[in-house]
Amino acid sequence: MSNKLHDQGEHFIVSPNAEPFLERMIFNNRFVILIGFVIITAFLVYNAVQIKPDASFERLIPLEHPYIQNMMENRDDLENLGNSIRIAVAVKDEKSSIFTESYMETLKQLTDEVFYLPGVDRSGVKSIWTPNVRWVEVTEEGFQGGTVIPDGYVGDKNSLDKLRQNILRSGEVGRLVADNFRSAIILAPLLEINPETNEPLDYAAFSRELEEKIRDKYHALNPDISIHVIGFAKKIGDLIEGIQAIALFALVTVTLTLVLLYGYSRCWSGTLTPILASLVAVFWQLGILRLLGFGLDPYSVLVPFLVFAIGISHGVQIVNAMAIESARGFDAKTSSRLAFRSLYIPGMIALLSDGLGFLTLLFIKIDVIKDLAVAASIGVGVIIITNLVLHPIILSYVGISKSGIRHVQKGGEAANKKWRFMSNFSHPHVAPISVLIAIIGTGLGIYYKQDLKVGDLDRGAPELRPDSRYNLDNDFIIENYSTSSDILVVMVKTATEQCSSYPVMRAMDQLQWELENTAGVESTASLVTVSKIVTKALNEGNFKWMEISRNQQIVNSSIQRAPSGLINTDCSLTPLLAFLEDHKAETLQRVVDKVEAFVKENPSDDFQFLLGAGNAGVDAATNQVISKAKDLMLVFVYSVVSLLVFITFRSIRAVCCIVIPLGLTSILCEALMAQLDIGIKVETLPVIALGVGIGVDYGIYIYTKFEHYLIEGKPLQEAYYETLRSTGKAVMFTGITLAIGVVTWIFSPIKFQANMGLLLFFMFLWNMIGALWLLPALARFLLSPEKMVAKARAAEAA
């Protein structure tokens, strides 16, 4: 402790004199401060526990994107299109069909049950058992028809044969009845707002009712059937349910950390204090979020984990430094002061870079990502207070136990060998090899990340796993019915009462045909489709009439009974639906490009073709926003981090040593995403920013110590050896602990949590490796110890 520079701290934020003041202020008033923390924590815990889940659809989508603005403007008129659920009731036995008495009885009961579910728009419920499903036939006298269930149905063979015939004539095969006659659908539109209570539909509750009253109950009642349910409400319900599993992950993470920390420190106070401080940070963060009026959405629910992880990472540094000082024979309070003195500058710089790195996510104009940025930045800001102030104060009371100190002293010999070996990373012969490996790694990374895609790549609901029950149900329905789960809606706007005029219909027909000729489009539908089919039907079913009539009266009568979703009340808006094969970014972009080109080539003053509603429209808009923001965000994250590192160390070389390993991690992470078919999307984009933010911590801690020993006059490898012995140990431990903490997310039922877990796992681990392995190799090339000593002497002299 004879070195004056060390005692002063090499770097300062305000002025060299202010620092001891800060330290004096904290440690001389530690009791008052501790009481203050208890009061604030109590208040914030009270708030944190009241935080509400907030899974609103609007926060998940880029509201500023023109597609979304068009969709929002016309939302009321589009409502009938979207929010419904489909319940497919299938016969399990492959040899059987739906034409059995028991199946029909179950389907009938199920239809009634669905009818009475709260939230269901009863007038719109459809199944072969509802009276609004009819068959129609042209006869010499005109039309003849009836309900699909024949009059006097008794369930015998005669009735069932008649039923089969009626179904064939009804045109519902592929819609309400599967092509293979082994399942039938109950379609139930939902009311967004309950007209009796004026309350919005509770998706979680509705989804639970579906499970209890429909799936579980009828599986038990009739073991020969299987029930498959899809629809937006069901998906959100499953998501909310999946998010609740997060509590389990929290428990696993904390327990794992506890075990690892104890193994590392062999000291209960060294184990429990970082966890306590980090948990306090989590509660502060949640409490502040609630006070600011935020809720927890499926994305920001992950932020507490991050906060906990980052808190632990800094806590371990404190415990580590404290144990080393205690081992030298200082008492608890002095050790704590010394640990604080040596760590609070790099700690603060690291946390500031984290926070500012997270704030760059604000560039992405999607509310959930902005929320994530705010939540994560608040969390990191809170850690500065809890882990850099509260944690040393607590430690100054409890100290490191004897066993912990012994562990540091005893563990020396064996560990020193390991550190000695690792210090070779800075050896003049090893460093060039490392740099070469890094260059090759960068090359490979750049090569493999070429396949990196924007958007989601799997079938079904992208939020859930491909093998989740929802997505399996979705696969079942897509395979057996003429339907697609990826729908792009083009909104056709006209003057009042003009939506079915011939010129509009003609233009829609042309666009539909051009879309059908576009790869990735399975089929299209609109008022035009209805008009053609009905015109044919009104002409005795003669296909020679399957065309839009130029006679407006014929058009008008053909669309009289069009489904309500296809025409708004004053006939000024009609949707054109394109059913897509998938929701890959290229597919979506190809289709929206086609629509935009069509609009450009065919301008009109009388009607507008507006993109784009439907899940595919939203996905296309989201992809566009994300691919535009991605590079901008990376530039900003790296600029902010580099600038902060430069301000701290006043050296471009330091910036290179710290930031280059991060860059390698980013490139390798993108290559990994490309190879694992994880696209860049709402949930994975933040990981890139978070990864850089967290990774820079390691580099800053390592470099601070490294520089310190170099200035003391040690040769490069020796200085690095000392760095490893002190901070390196903590960095390595932290990297592994955090990685293990997030890797449990891989088991989340929600796909985006699993993806985030996987990517964060990689980032935590690889950033640690980069800091311990590549940083010293770069230092061998970039740093000149003599000059650094001379520069430090000059500064001291001045």
Give the residue carrying structure tokens 């379609």: 187
Nearer to another protein, 43 or 545 (CB): 545
Spatial separation of the C-alpha atoms in residues 602 and 504, rounded to whole Å: 12
Distances (CA, A) of 535 to 132, 314, 504, 558, 698: 21, 73, 17, 6, 71
Q: Find the part of the chain contacting another protein (CB under 8 A) among 93-101, 345-353, 511-519, 674-682.
A: 511-519
Q: What is the residue-wise DSSP string for 304-338? A: HHHHHHHHHHHHHHHHHHHHHHHHTT--HHHHHHH
CA separation for the pair 756, 531 (Å, rounded):
47
Q: Could you give the string, one character per residue 310-329, with x where binding to another protein holds by CB under 8 A and - elsewhere?
A: --------------------
Nearest to 622 by CA among 672, 679, 550, 689: 679
Nearer to another protein among residue 74 and residue 549 (C-beta)? 549
Closer to another protein by Cβ: residue 327 or 548: 548
DSSP character at residue 199: P
Would you count residue 513 as binding another protein (CB under 8 A)? yes
162/791 with CB nearer another protein:
162
CB of 486 to another protein, least distance (A): 20
CB of 185 to another protein, least distance (A): 19
The residue count for binding another protein (CB under 8 A) is: 35
Contact with another protein (CB under 8 A) among 551, 569, 639, 784: 551
Long-range contacts of 120-123 (CB under 8 A, 24+ apart): 120/188, 120/189, 120/190, 120/191, 121/188, 121/189, 121/190, 121/191
- Of 543, 560, 794, 797, the residue at the interface with another protein (CB under 8 A) is 543
With binding defined as CB under 8 A, does residue 245 bind another protein?
no
The binder of another protein chosen from 514, 522, 586, 712 (CB under 8 A) = 514
CB of 485 to another protein, least distance (A): 23
Tell which residue, 789, 657, 784, has the closest CA to residue 711: 789
Stretch that binds another protein, among 501-509, 574-582, 743-751, 757-765 (CB under 8 A): 501-509
The CA distance from 627 to 65, in Å, is 13
Nearer to another protein, 403 or 551 (CB): 551
SS3 content of the chain, % helix, strand, coil (to 5): 65, 10, 25
Are 416 and 725 in contact by the 8 Å Cβ rule? The answer is: yes
Q: How far is the CB of 597 from another protein (least distance, A)?
A: 13
By CB under 8 A, residue 496 contacts another protein: no
Could you tell me which stretch among 118-126, 434-442, 540-548, 766-774 binds another protein (CB under 8 A)?
A: 540-548
Per-residue mark of binding to another protein, 333-362 (x: CB under 8 A): ------------------------------
DSSP H helical ranges for 89-231:
101-115, 157-170, 203-209, 217-221
Q: Which stretch binds another protein (CB under 8 A): 211-219, 266-274, 473-481, 509-517?
A: 509-517
Q: Which stretch binds another protein (CB under 8 A): 250-258, 352-360, 407-415, 498-506?
A: 498-506
Taking CB under 8 A as the criterion, which residues in 161-190 touch another protein?
A: 168, 173
> Per-residue contact track with another protein, 125 to 144, x per CB under 8 A?
------------xxxx----
In degrees and rounded to multiples of 5, residue 584 shows phi and psi of -65, 150
How far apart CA 92 and CA 428 sit, in angstroms, is 70
Q: How far is the CB of 64 from another protein (least distance, A)?
A: 28
Shortest CB 562 distance to another protein, Å: 20
| Direct distance between the N- and C-terminal alpha carbons of the chain, in angstroms, rounded to an integer | 22
For the CB of residue 181, give the shortest distance to another protein in the complex, in Å: 11
Minimum CB–partner distance for residue 563 and another protein (Å): 21
Complex with another protein: residue 180 or 194, whichever CB lies closer: 180
Name which of 290 and 532 has its Cβ closer to another protein: 532
Is the CB of 368 or the CB of 504 nearer to another protein?
504
Looking at residues 515 to 534 of the shown chain, list those that interact with another protein (rule: CB under 8 A).
516-517
State in angstroms the smallest separation of the CB of 541 from another protein. Answer: 5
- The set of residues, in sequence order, having a beta carbon less than 8 Å from that of 539 and lying 6+ positions away, is 545
DSSP letters, 151-167, are TT--SSHHHHHHHHHHH
Q: Tell me which stretch binds another protein (CB under 8 A): 322-330, 537-545, 616-624, 778-786.
A: 537-545
Is residue 659 within 8 A of residue 645, CB to CB? The reply is: yes
Stretch that binds another protein, among 315-323, 514-522, 626-634, 711-719 (CB under 8 A): 514-522
Do residues 718 and 725 make contact, with C-beta atoms less than 8 angstroms apart? no
**Per-residue interface string for the shown chain with another protein, residues 588-627, x marking contact by CB under 8 A:** --------------xxxxxx--------------------
Nearest-angstrom CA–CA distance, 309 and 413 = 30
User: Residue 554 interacts with another protein (CB under 8 A)?
Assistant: yes
Q: Which of 510, 710, 491 is nearest to 614 (CA)?
A: 491
21 in contact with another protein (CB under 8 A): no
Asked if 545 is part of the footprint of another protein (rule: CB under 8 A), the reply reads yes
Helices (H) and strands (E) in the chain, counts: 32, 9
Q: How far apart are CB 251 and another protein at their closest, in Å? A: 55
540 contacts another protein (rule: CB under 8 A): yes
Structure tokens, 103 = 């199946």
Omega before residue 541 within 30° of 0, cis: no
Spatial neighbors of 128 by CB under 8 A, at least 6 apart, are 107, 148, 149, 163, 167, 172, 176, 177, 184
Q: Looking at 293-301, 507-515, 763-771, 779-787, which segment touches another protein (CB under 8 A)?
A: 507-515
Question: Judged by CB, which is closer to another protein: 529, or 684?
Answer: 529
Task: Show the tokens assigned to 426.
Answer: 């800075």
Q: What's the closest the beta carbon of residue 506 comes to another protein, in angstroms?
A: 6
Tell me the closest approach of the beta carbon of residue 137 to another protein, in angstroms: 8
Please, which of residues 427-466 interact with another protein by CB under 8 A? none
Q: Please, which residues have CB within 8 angstroms of residue 683's CB and are 6 or more apart in sequence? A: 299, 752, 753, 755, 756
Q: What does the per-residue mask of binding to another protein show for 669-698, with x meaning CB under 8 A?
A: ------------------------------
391-398 vs 268-291: helix crossing angle, rounded to 10: 150
Q: Considering only residues 507, 559, 771, 788, which one is a binding residue for another protein as defined by CB under 8 A?
A: 507
User: Least distance to another protein from the beta carbon of 507, Å?
Assistant: 4
Structure-token pair, residue 223: 């073991």
Q: Which is nearer to another protein, 263 or 503 (CB)?
A: 503
Smaller CB separation from another protein, 197 or 543: 543
How is 498-531 classified by DSSP, letter by letter?
A: -TTSHHHHHHHHHHHHHHHTSTTEEEEESHHHHH
**Identity of the residue, 205 or 519, whose beta carbon is nearer to another protein in the bound complex:** 519
Give which of 702, 760, 28 is closest to 393, Cα–Cα: 28
Tokens representing 636? 């900003």
Q: Which tokens go with 619? A: 């996905």
Rg (CA), the chain: 33
**d(Cα 645, Cα 695) in Å, to the nearest integer?**
13
Residues in contact with another protein by the rule CB under 8 A: 137-140, 168, 173, 501, 503-504, 506-507, 510, 513-514, 516-517, 539-547, 549-551, 554, 602-607
